[in-house]
Amino acid sequence: MEIASCYLEGNADAVEFCPHEPFHHILASATYTLQEKAGAESHRAGSISLFACSSSSDVDAARTTGLQLLCHEETPGIFDIKWSPVKDEVNSTSHPLLALADADGCLTVRKLQTDVGNEVEGINFEELMNVNISSSMCLYVDWRRSGDSLSVSLSDGSISIISFTEAELKVSQSWVAHDFEAWTTNFDIFNPHLLYSGSDDCRFCCWDTRQDPSVPVFRNSKSHTMGVCCVSQSTFNPNMLLTGSYDESLRVWDIRSASKPLTDKSICLGGGVWRIKPHPCISDIVIAACMHNGFSVVSVGGEEAVVLERYEKHGSLAYGVDWMKGENARNGSIVSSCSFYDRLLRAWQPQCLAKS
């Protein structure tokens, strides 16, 4: 079911639903636009926007409201965004934080606040702090599950670990991990000392942050025939890891042998697999942004990975995608997706997962 759509002012490349109560309806969307002028240095412009997304269970509201813009700010070009993890402490009062990785080589953290009892009006989305990591571009950002560190991958192939406190962001580790652009870097959800990365050099690697970062736990350079765009982990199965590549395949890995993971299964999705997001409540369902072939809802739990549904209502590169969390995810799956050159942001519900 179509919920809503709107056009952004720049090339849309990232969307993320907030995982924190009571902000599950808050959707962040980022843009990156290369502005070139004859005789002048090119400029990488961007923006960050927050929307309130209507739940598909509230059909009347969805028809009338859809995606309501709450705030919009111009920024340097943004490649990736990530909300802070929901901590295990009961009744935690910490505010949701959004990390932004930008083309100027900076990592910025913003804090989301609202007036008490008013989650739509009175949004305060102020910059909390930022740190300049490199003269290279920051391409991807991920939070450690504890929320005390972030990892950032860069266009020069390096990876940085950033320590985070309420007082400062500080680079604690950096190393050259790949020969070309490092498109992704992800902390292991269940073993927070392990970090995965993927790059244009076709390598899929694992690093132990307690050890010498120049020595990987493993380095796979034979499975992907083109650049590795994304790494994602199941929140239900600590042994399952997923990778996406420009070679159009989504691969499912068994990582019980940490030093030599095995490819459990793979599926060709007909477009470079730029992002993979596991469903927040259904253990074997993921959604993939497939660049030149729209978005695919995939079942990865059986002997073979199977495409359950394709979503093809975007007109250009399928980049950003995410699931809404919380009760909406349990009662009826909601997805937001965005595409690059047509600057389109959509919210929709996969028919294969719709509640009757």
Each residue's pLDDT tens digit, 235-255: 999 999 999 999 999 999 999
- Percentage of the chain beyond pLDDT 70 is 91
Which residue's entry shows tokens 């209507």?
Answer: 54
Strand order in the sheet with 26-35: 12-17, 26-35, 43-53, 67-76
State both tokens at 157: 């192939």
CA dist., res. 352 & res. 333, Å (int):
10
Our measurement of the distance from residue 125's CA atom to the centroid of its chain's CA atoms, rounded to an integer in Å, reads 19
Which residue's entry shows tokens 């729209």?
Answer: 294
Quote the pLDDT of residue 64: 42
Quote the pLDDT of residue 61: 41
- Main-chain dihedrals φ then ψ at residue 116, nearest 5 degrees: -60, 125
Side chain identity, residue 48: I
**Cα angle: 4, vertex 76, 101; to 5 degrees:** 80
CB contact at 8 A, 339 and 318: yes
pTM higher than 0.75, yes or no? Answer: yes
Quote the pLDDT of residue 332: 80
Residue ranges of the chain whose pLDDT lies below 50: 56-64, 89-93, 117-119, 356
Quote the pLDDT of residue 115: 64
